[in-house]
Amino acid sequence: MERIKEDSFILVYRDRRRRWIVRPADTPRLHTHLGILDCKELVGKEFGTSAKTTLGDELLILRPTIEDMVMKFSRRTQVVYPKDLAMILLKCGIHSGSRVFEAGTGSGSATASMAYMAMPNGHVYSYDKNESFQAVAKKNLDRLGLSQFVTFKLKDAKEGIDERDLTAALLDLGDPWELVPNVRDCLEPSGMLAAVTPTTNQAERLVEEMKSRSFVMVETIEILMRNIEARAGMTRPANIMVGHTVYVTFGRKAV
**Quick one: pLDDT at residue 70?**
87
Mean pLDDT check: name the lowest of 15-24, 151-160, 173-182: 15-24
Mean pLDDT of the chain: 95
Q: Which domains does the chain have, with CATH numbers?
A: 10-64 (3.10.330.20), 68-253 (3.40.50.150)
Q: What is the pLDDT of residues 112-122, one digit of tens each?
A: 999 999 999 99
**Cβ proximity of 80 and 196 under 8 Å:** yes
> Taking residues 156-179, what's their average pLDDT?
97
Q: Please report, rounded to a whole number, the percentage of residues in the chain having pLDDT higher than 90.
A: 89
Mean of the pLDDT values across residues 198-203?
A: 97
Say how far apart CA 183 and CA 224 lie, in whole Å.
28
- Side chain identity, residue 49: T
Full DSSP string of 30-89:
EEETTEEEEGGGGTTSBTT-EEE-TT--EEEEEPPPHHHHHHT---SSPPPPHHHHHHHH
Summarised one tens digit per residue, pLDDT across range 62-112 is 999 999 998 888 776 777 889 999 999 999 999 999 999 999 999 999 999
Residue pair 157/88 in contact (Cβ under 8 Å)? The answer is no
Q: If you average pLDDT over residues 151-160, what whole number do you get?
A: 96
Is pLDDT of 240 > 90?
no
Give the 3-state secondary structure of residue 119: coil
9-18, 65-74, 98-107, 185-194: least confidently modelled range = 65-74
Q: Average of pLDDT values for 221-244?
A: 92
Q: Where is 189: in which H helix or E strand?
A: strand 187-197
Res. 236: pLDDT tops 80? yes
pLDDT confidence of residue 78: 73
